[in-house]
Structure 1
Amino acid sequence: MPTTQRRVEDVALLGVRHHGPGSARAVAAALAQYRPDTVLIEGPPEADALLELAAHQDMVPPVALLAHVVDDPARAAFWPFAAFSPEWVALRHALDHGVPVRFIDLPAAHGFAREREEEPEAPGIDPIGELARAAGHDDPEQWWDDAVEHRSADDADALGPFRGIAEAMAELRPPGSEPSGAHEARREAFMRRQIRAARRAGHQRIAVVCGAWHVPALAARPPVAADDALLKGLPKAKVELTWVPWTHRRLSQHTGYGAGIASPGWYQHLFESTDRGTVRWMTKVAALLRAEDHSVSSAHVIEAVRLAETLAAMRGRPLPGLAESTDAVRAVMCEGSDVPLALVQDLMVVGDRMGQVPDEAPTVPLQRDLTRLQRSLRLKPEPGERDLDLDLRKDTDAARSRLLHRLSLLDIPWGRAAASRTGSTGTFRESWRLVWEPELAIKVAEAGIWGTTVESAATGRARDLAAHSGSLGEVTALAEGCLLADLPDALPTVLQALADRAALDADVAHLAEALPALVRSLRYGDVRGTDATALRELAEGLAVRICIGLPPACNSLDAEGAGAMAGHLGSTHAAVALLTDSDADDLRRRWSATLRTLAERDTIAGLLRGRAARLLLDDNQWDAAEAARQMRLTLSPVTPPAEAAGWIEGFLAGGGMLLVHDTRLLGLVDDWLTSVPDAAFPDVLPLLRRTFSGFEPGVRRTIADRIRSGTKAADTPSDDRPGFAPDLDPLRAAKARKTATLLLGLSHAQPGGARNCAANHPPTEVRS
């Protein structure tokens, strides 16, 4: 009897492809026939104590084993298992039949310690690719699917396929060949050691489920001393393991912790459908498309099945695969369009299935508290994106908001702020986009160093950030986050750090950058009922310092500096308006005086002077006549064209409707533009193009119409300017009469009502 066959009698080496449905069915059939007295599976042996949980009624794959270094949770690794994973099938077989089961791969503790050594590995070969080429196939994935995944188990000799795999891999790894890299050699040496230990324990029918590539190495019997030498003195790290939910979408990703399975939803279907798989798949596709309002009938399903089977026969495949099924769905059900086909790809071929682990699985205290909060607030983790609109006036929504903001402080981005779908801008509204990724389990483990509950951990994290934040802007954002997260125990520390940074920071730009965030924090604090007196005093102090330091800080700025400072002007102006109650407020008056200084000082860049002038006009501190006077002075021939263009850019940054409603200003701009010397015009044009491109298309069109109709200088009597005639135009006025009547609530029985109303006002006011 051949040596390989003799070894199979006491050790059945079941070489598999990880996450393969055909491999999983073959493993199930082989174990049922072989009836092992122990099962050994490629995996981290530190997880042996957790294997019993796989049989728990609340354990639903896909799931993953998560291992992380105790003192450095960011160093972590996952071992995913789907329902169609051969390792999962073997594990459940052992637990269901009361057979001892263990993991036999090199311990994770050694693997994490090896990361520190940064040991280089030689590139290995692709065994499936080599076998496919030997069989005359240029597509390794398709060849493996045809040879293994799409075939049904042969009950007469369930171990036969695994003997064939072993022989094929032995050809790729002849005796004496070394694995790719020392780490692979150590893994295989450790697995051989575990097989020997099972023999010594008295087991006589040992089933080993491992990657097919390892089968020749495990079938060989090198000297024990050689394996011991490879494993001697390996460094170790202290690790902890647990079960965590996983998703099909994460299985499909080739980077990070994904398993690189392009079609987990399809593989799940292959594993679950023991007969008429193509018919069942097409039926599911039809149901999905119907749910999305696509017209798909039973006839479509029948024709799609026929086409898929025909394509498989033409391509020499035993059964229709994903490629044939996809082509048939595109042609028959999607009428050649890839748009509905993308929906099938996303929701069925990949899928959003998410697993579940029992409460008995070990977790860090922070994870237990997070799970408790998720249940009490009815926020179930889901793998797909979910939009959540919150009304902070409701207790449950306010608690949800606090949880999400606290997790954000802990760098656990379960939810991200999103634009409101209702269009509401009230501070009592919040919108979030939630998506739970399996990697967040690592984030939770990392955040566990700050506390055992979400609130205590967020408080500890906020205090640490306050102590180590380097800039005023960072501490300001942190203060806003503490108010949003409702962390009263952290707020005093953060406010003290904020006051210290503000006192030492003399950069007006930094102060102006911090003020809007403080004012937003005050508004949110009001909504949540938070006492923000200290924050208000700090914000008012910053505003006063900005008023004092802004004019000298704006002197002699270059174009880039002026552009940045112009943004600070607008944000500070809005912040002061929110911080004060009326124009009579001392802070509001001080700020208006600062803007006047900026608007009238010649040593300040035109962009800033124009922006200050526009803010004064919008705030009713200047009337239109004063704004026109300032524009006339700036656009005089003595002003360099580039400086004048900068002034216009700053002045019109608030929108172009100003030129539509005030033809005096439009005339000034038009007169100046036509007088720009030819030599200077190329330098002015980019600034003007940037300014006017920011206007709405309708505004630009109206301005152009006004210019084509002819504009006059600002000192032209209003009665002679286009659009400002001494008498009403009866035809144009008649069009507005009906609307004016409705707006004023006048009856149509009063034909003179609208005319009398118009007659009592000067023509210019009526047109305004």
Structure 2
Amino acid sequence: MENTANSAIHYLGVRHHGPGSANRVVAALDALRPRQVLIEGPSDCTELLPMLAQRDMTPPVALLAYVADDPACSLYYPFAEFSPEYQACCWAVRNSATVAFIDMPVSIQLAQMLAQRSEPDDDAEMAEEMTGGATEVQPSDQEPVPDPQDVNPIETDALRLNDALQLSTDPIGALATLAGYQDGESWWNDLIEQNSDDDVTIFATVEAAMTTLREHIADTDEDEPVAERNRYREAFMRLEISKAHKAGDGPTAVICGAWHVPELKAKHSAKADRECLKNLPKKHPKSKLKQTWIPWTSPRLASQSGYGAGVSAPMWYKHVWRHRNNPNALEHWLGHVTAALRAAGHVVSTASIIEAVRLCTSLAAVRNRPNPGFEEVRDASIACLCFGESVQWTAIEQQVLLGHDVGEIPENAPLVPLLEDLQRLQKSLKLKPEALDRELSLDLRAPAGLQKSILLHRLKILDVPWGRLTDSGKSRGTFRERWILRWEPEFAVKLLENLIYGSTIEQAANTKVCERLQQTQELAQLANTVQHCLEAQLDGAAEYGLKRIDEQAAHTSDAIALLTSLAPLVNLSRYGTARSISLTHIAALVDRLAIQAALALPLSCRNLSDEEANHFCQSISEAHQAVQLANLQDDILSDWWEALLTLSESPQTSFQIAGLSARLCYLGQQIAADKLQIQLQRALSPARPAADAARYFEGFFAGSVQRLIYDDMLLGTVESWLVHLEDETFIMYLPLFRRVFSGLDSMERKRLLQTILEGRQGLHTEKTLNAALLPHWPDHLQRIGKLIQRDKTWTQ
């Protein structure tokens, strides 16, 4: 391709998201004054590229391309403020130059993804499982990231380079090794990204380095999938560069990954390039593709997030870009670190900042680096600002290095309907998305607080958990909610996937939850889903959910299903204090289900395994708590108590459930103390098998062992049972006893042990100890002490 060698085409090889690369690109463009600026990126998205330079477009942002009927099949192209591509686009728009993308179209890339889905192999299935179907691509996703210092790659000895390449799988790391660096990242940062000069001759040096590297790895990398993908991309870009340069009327600047420059400048015929591309898949005939801009976040620019072209510290690079001409840049950054430490409660003096600045300079000199870099700043911060405590640095590291920036998209961007609706709601409610956790307390009595709550609940229904509700379940029926907000870029794709349900947040949430209600059969799940509908103020879905509850209740006879449905339904009947919704008809349904549960319980709790009994105990406890809160009619409440009394007295009831029922009836004053004592003595009698007595004991006291401190009758009965246990039996059930008594806090344990050891002086003085029991009393006290005492210091 002859005209690629034309002197009017200038190739600027960069690192994506590099502040030094961006600085030199702007300087080179100012010197060259090109009429065409060509950028590595999907060519069929060129129409959206000038929008990147609009004044109200605030990076970080990402170009999103997706299949309209399958939004999970998508590609991202992120841009940061310090990205060379972003700065090149801004320069082109400011100087009225033509700007265009030249890389492989997203139509081809998405067609490849669809083809892999139709005929998945193991690798494709694994990749899709790990990424959720969405691919994060920067216009040089898989290429090596260059990194240099004081070595001249043009004069690099070929033999030494071959030796270095054999020791490293990273070709750039091989050059760094020759320059005396341990890794390529530091080398590249010193030479370009953290270097304050804007000398454009560095592009020629980097090009020579890449040429040398590609010559020495060509044989070993020829059959690699990455190399094959690069061959397709480079062939396509050569054709696009030739076409754009011929159509232009002046110099052309090409901004691309440094790895591609040698091949883009190499002589290839247009025919050979077209032949190389002829077997690539074309756009799927039945799949409509869409492209738009979406907000991105600074943490997702980091390599730690899994982003192939990511950087280690996005906020550090942003600082380097913004303070590239500031002689006091180092002081500004250390001031930023100090502010984060002080906000975390640490005391950092101004003198410590001065010492940190001096240490940065000294470390750079000792390490023979041209300027203090990220490593020096980090080490100095730990030594001087954190006083050598790396834990303090770790606590603020994510905030300082990754930040919480979220980009903004101009109003004229071609947003899809749900994203547009969300952005409108965010602005009207003044809910700015941020990339770090932020607490939000809402008063539902205030219209603004209520509307924010409704939006967050609707997004949860759409599987977009922008907000995470804390203290879930404790604040229902109150006027306050506490949320933890954190925005993730994937939420944009989640909204795209919900487009099938509607074009607004409200419509999509209503349709999706109705579909969920239709597919749900269990009463408890239906009631919980209706609860979510009410919280999200989806009246249509809530009404449909109530109809589904009525339908399922008429066909439900399973005791567990009836029990588990009572609590959420009672919550529903008591809900609505902050939202004007009438739910009086739910009370009748609660009455009916309570009667059905009371009738089903005695027969359902017979001959159960331990696992089944545990399940029933939990369900009965939750249902009983709900029944106590519900305003049941006296005759219905009487039926419920009658069912529990039957369970406590029937010899066919599973022992754990019998114990629980006896305790509930006793606390509810449905069983007199003397009658309960007889039941307990019978259940914990030495004539009873130890396993059955232990199950009864667990059912009765689990979650209510505090009663032993205040109830003489219960304590005396338990003491008598424990005294008569054989040693082997006691040891066998010691884990059970520990589990039951773990419900006591330290003060309660102390009070219980004192009660046992000292007795209740002044109470029941008429009682005397049987003389026959005196020889056994020391052993008894020792057992009780082991049972209750959890550590050696609890009585102190």
Same fold (TM over 0.5): yes
8 A contact 1:46–1:107 mirrored in 2: yes
What secondary structure, in the 3-state scheme, does the structure 1 residue paired with 2:304 have?
coil
> What's the offset of the Cα at 1:174?
4.8
Q: Provide the residue aligned with 2:378 in structure 1.
A: 326
Aligned twin of 1:653: 702
Q: Deviations over 1:8-42 (max 9, x none)?
A: 61322222111111111121122222222211111
Counterpart in the other structure of 1:139: 183
1:185–1:705 CA distance, 2 compared to 1 (3 A): same
Letter of the 1:629 counterpart: I
Q: Name the residue aligned to 2:290.
A: 240
Aligned mates of 1:169, 1:84 — CA distance in 2 = 26
CA distance in 1, matches of 2:454, 2:212: 58
Q: Which has the higher contact order (CA 8 A, sep 6+)?
A: 2
> How far 1:241 sits from its partner (Å)?
1.5
Shift of 1:376: 2.5
Partners of 2:536 and 2:322 in 1: how far apart? 45
Q: Which of 384, 390, 407 does residue 436 from structure 2 map onto?
A: 384
Q: CA deviation at 1:407?
A: 1.3
Query: Does 1:605 find its partner at 2:654?
Result: yes
Question: Structure 2 counterpart of 1:247, which letter?
Answer: T
Offset of 1:290 from its aligned partner? Answer: 4.6
1:539 correspondence with 2:581? no
User: Which residue, out of 43, 51, 54, partners 1:53?
Assistant: 51
Amino acid in structure 1 at the alignment position of 2:25? V
- Which deviations, in whole Å up to 9, do the C-alpha atoms of 1:666-714 show, x marking residues without a partner? 11101101111234333322221211122222222222122222589xx
- Deviation per CA, 1:360-406: give whole Å up to 9, x if none: 11112222222222222222222222222223233222222222211
Corresponding residue for 2:354? 302
Alpha carbons 1:179, 1:185 under 8 Å: kept: no
Say which SS state the counterpart of residue 718 (structure 1) adopts.
coil
Q: What does residue 742 of structure 1 align with?
A: none
Tell me, yes or no, if structure 1 residue 184 matches structure 2 residue 230. yes
Match of 1:588 in 2: 637
User: Which SS does the other structure have where 2:413 is aligned?
Assistant: coil
CA contact (8 A) 1:169 1:215 kept: no
CA contact (8 A) 2:4 2:267 kept: no
Q: How does 1:268-667 map to 2 (within 5 A)?
A: 268-274=318-324, 275-276=326-327, 277-290=329-342, 294-419=346-471, 427-581=478-632, 585-667=634-716
SS at match of 1:695: coil
Q: Name the aligned partner's letter for residue 457 of structure 2.
A: H
Report the residue type matching 1:213 in the other structure. W
Q: Which residue of 2 aligns with 1:681?
A: 730
Provide the C-alpha distance between the structure 2 equivalents of 1:115 and 1:395, rounded to a whole number of angstroms: 46
- What residue is the counterpart of 2:745 in the other structure? 696
Q: C-alpha distance in 1, partners of 2:305/2:455? A: 30
The match for 1:130 among 174, 189, 203 is 174
- For 1:618, the aligned partner's letter is L
Write the letter of the residue equivalent to 2:428.
S
| 2:562–2:593 Cα contact (<8 Å) kept | yes
Kindly indicate whether the alpha-carbon contact (under 8 Å) linking 2:478 and 2:577 is maintained by their aligned counterparts in 1. no
**Residue 17 of structure 1 contacts residue 211 of structure 1 at CA under 8 Å; is this kept in 2?**
yes
Distance 2:381 2:3 in 1: 46
Q: Is the 8 A contact 1:610 1:648 kept in 2?
A: yes
Partner of 2:300: 250
Match of 1:195 in 2: 241
Q: Is the 8 A contact 2:23 2:198 kept in 1?
A: no
Q: Out of 267, 274, 291, which is 1:221 matched to?
A: 267
2:315 is aligned to 265
Q: What aligned pairs does 1:3-152 form with structure 2 within 5 A after superposition? A: 7=5, 9-118=7-116, 126-152=170-196
Q: 1:540 to 1:177 in 2, by over 3 A?
A: same
Deviations 1:123-170 (A, max 9, x none): 985332232234343222112212221224454746434444443444
What is the percent sequence identity of the aligned residues?
Answer: 40
Q: Could you tell me how far apart the structure 1 residues matched to 2:427 and 2:198 are?
A: 46
| Greater Cα shift, 658-667 or 389-398 | 389-398
Deviation at 1:595, TM superposition (A): 0.6
Separation in 1, partners of 2:369, 2:291: 42
1:717–1:250 CA distance, 2 compared to 1 (3 A) = closer
Write the distance in 1 (CA, Å) between the matches of 2:46 and 2:489.
22
The alpha-carbon deviation at position 346 of structure 1 amounts to 2.8
The one-letter code sitting in structure 2 at the alignment partner of 1:77 is L
Secondary structure in 2 aligned to 1:42? strand
Matches of 1:722 and 1:81, distance apart in 2: 85
254 and 337 in structure 1: CA distance in 2 versus 1, 3 angstrom threshold? closer
CA deviations 1:38-59 (Å, max 9, x no partner) are: 1111112232111222222211
Following superposition, the deviation at residue 601 of structure 1 comes to: 1.4
Evaluate the alpha carbon distance shift between residue 450 and residue 650 of structure 1 in structure 2; reply closer, same or farther with a 3 A threshold: same
- Whole-angstrom CA distance in 2 between matches of 1:525 and 1:250: 40
Alpha-carbon displacement from aligned partner over 1:43-95 (angstroms, at most 9, x marks no partner) = 12232111222222211111111222110112222211111111111111111
* Stretch moving more, 438-447 or 661-670: 438-447
Question: What one-letter code is carried by the residue in structure 2 that aligns with 1:309?
Answer: T
Q: In structure 1, what residue type is equivalent to 2:292? A: T
Q: Which residue of 1 aligns with 2:133?
A: none
Following the alignment from structure 2 to structure 1, what is the Cα–Cα distance between the partners of residues 699 and 12? 74
Secondary structure of 2:590's counterpart equals: helix
* Farther off after superposition, 74-83 or 117-126: 117-126
Are the counterparts in 1 of residues 14 and 21 from structure 2 also a CA contact under 8 Å? yes
Q: Letter of the 2:85 partner, please give it.
A: E
What SS does the aligned partner of 2:255 have? Answer: strand
How far apart are 1:635 and its partner, in Å? 0.9
Q: Taking structure 1 as reference, are residues 255 and 50 closer, same or farther at Cα in structure 2, changes over 3 Å only?
A: same
The residue identity in structure 2 corresponding to 1:383 is A
Q: Which runs of 5+ in 1 are unaligned?
A: 724-768
Q: Deviations over 1:709-742 (max 9, x none)?
A: 2589xxx99343599xxxxxxxxxxxxxxxxxxx
Partner of residue 765, structure 1: none
Residue 436 (structure 1) shift? 1.5
Distance 2:768 2:301 in 1: 69
Q: Aligned partners of 1:612 and 1:591: how far apart in 2?
A: 11
- State the distance in 2 between where 1:617 and 1:456 align: 51
Q: Give SS of 2:28's match.
A: helix
Change (3 A) 1:295 1:190: same
Deviation (angstroms), 1:470: 5.0
Does the aligned pair in 2 maintain the 1:389–1:420 contact within 8 Å? no
SS at match of 1:608: helix
In structure 2, the partner of 1:740 is: none
**Any idea what the Cα deviations from partners look like across 1:627-656, whole Å, max 9, x if unmatched?**
322211211122111211121211112322
Give the distance between the partners of 2:87 and 2:217, measured in 1 at CA. 27
Matches of 1:429 and 1:280 in 2, distance apart?
40
> Aligned in 2, Cα 1:40/1:17: closer, same or farther, shift over 3 Å?
same
State the shift of 1:665 in Å.
1.0
Q: Which moved more, 1:273-282 or 1:307-316?
A: 273-282
Conservation of the 8 A alpha-carbon contact between 1:131 and 1:168: no
CA distance in structure 1 between the partners assigned to 2:429 and 2:200 by the alignment: 54
Post-superposition offset of 1:594:
0.9
Give the whole-Å Cα distance in 2 for the aligned partners of 1:493 and 1:41: 53
The answer to whether the 8 Å contact 1:405/1:484 transfers is yes
Q: Tell me, what secondary structure is at the counterpart of 1:430?
A: strand
> 2:64 touches 2:292 (CA, 8 Å); kept in 1?
yes
Report if the CA contact (8 A) 1:264-1:349 is conserved: yes
CA distance in structure 1 between the aligned counterparts of 2:262 and 2:217, rounded to whole angstroms:
7
